[in-house]
Amino acid sequence: MHAYVKYGLAAAAFVAVAGLAGTAWAQRDPAYQAARAAGQVGEQPDGYLGVVGGGTAELRALVANINIQRKAAYTRGAQSGATVEQFAFVSGCNLIAQTKPGEKYKTPGGSWETRGNGPPERDPRCV
């Protein structure tokens, strides 16, 4: 079984139970919500939030803070046997799948896309 598939269920369970610290915190932050709604930030296949374009220093700092919290959550989740990178990747698959129409996400090819009504383009290793 491929390592990403093997740890997919564990990562999904951890994300559901832990609420992904960075995302849970960010959802209460009006600056994050505004940036997400404006398409200034988006989910990436590596499990981290990204700045679309250059962004302001304040926006980059907000994203960096969220990503620090995400990495801490991934590190805790990886203690179940996956590497932090595997755990982050599977979380990225799930976070991209959870985007809503109009929100930004990064495709496996590295380009920023706006989610339409259909499913987002995800890495073929996502299950």
pLDDT tens column, 29-82: 899 999 999 999 999 999 999 999 989 999 999 999 999 999 999 999 888 788
pTM of the model: 0.81
Tokens of 113: 């896309």
Q: Which residues neighbour 56 within 8 Å (Cβ) at sequence distance 6 or greater?
A: none
Tokens of 95: 């976070």
Q: What is the DSSP letter of 120?
A: P
